[in-house]
Amino acid sequence: MEWVAISIVVGIGIVLYATVQIVKMGIAHEDKRLALKAGVGDAGRIEQILAANQAEMAKLRERVQVLERLATDDDRKLAGDIERLRAADTMRG
């Protein structure tokens, strides 16, 4: 029974961490969107901003998919998902 509580706490921690990361990416995306709306920068810079926004959106979609899977999958799959997330964060960061 103790492992269930630990799994839940770890799962909540992962969800909170991912939520913070998603909020950070959302804020950065909004800043870039406002810069585009204001007309700051030249055409090349706009292309770079759009490409960066698309990459951020892809990351956000991936994280949301992982969170949905964590919320709906069995507890026995949780440990594997945690390890994959750790490996992905290590590779990105």
pLDDT tens for residues 43-77?
677 778 888 889 999 999 988 888 887 777 776 67
Is 91 a member of any domain? no
Using CA atoms, how far apart are residues 92 and 80, in angstroms rounded to an integer?
A: 18
Is 40 a member of any domain? yes
Is 41 a member of any domain? yes
Total domains in the fold of the chain: 1
Q: Count Cβ neighbours within 10 Å for each residue of 52-72 and write b for 16 or more, e otherwise.
A: ebeebeeebeebeebbeebee
Using CA atoms, how far apart are residues 47 and 32, in angstroms rounded to an integer?
A: 12
Is 53 a member of any domain? yes
Is 73 a member of any domain? yes
Q: Average pLDDT, stretch 79-92?
A: 79
Look at residue 33 in the predicted model and tell me its pLDDT. Answer: 81
Give the structural domain span for 33: 2-82
Is 13 a member of any domain? yes
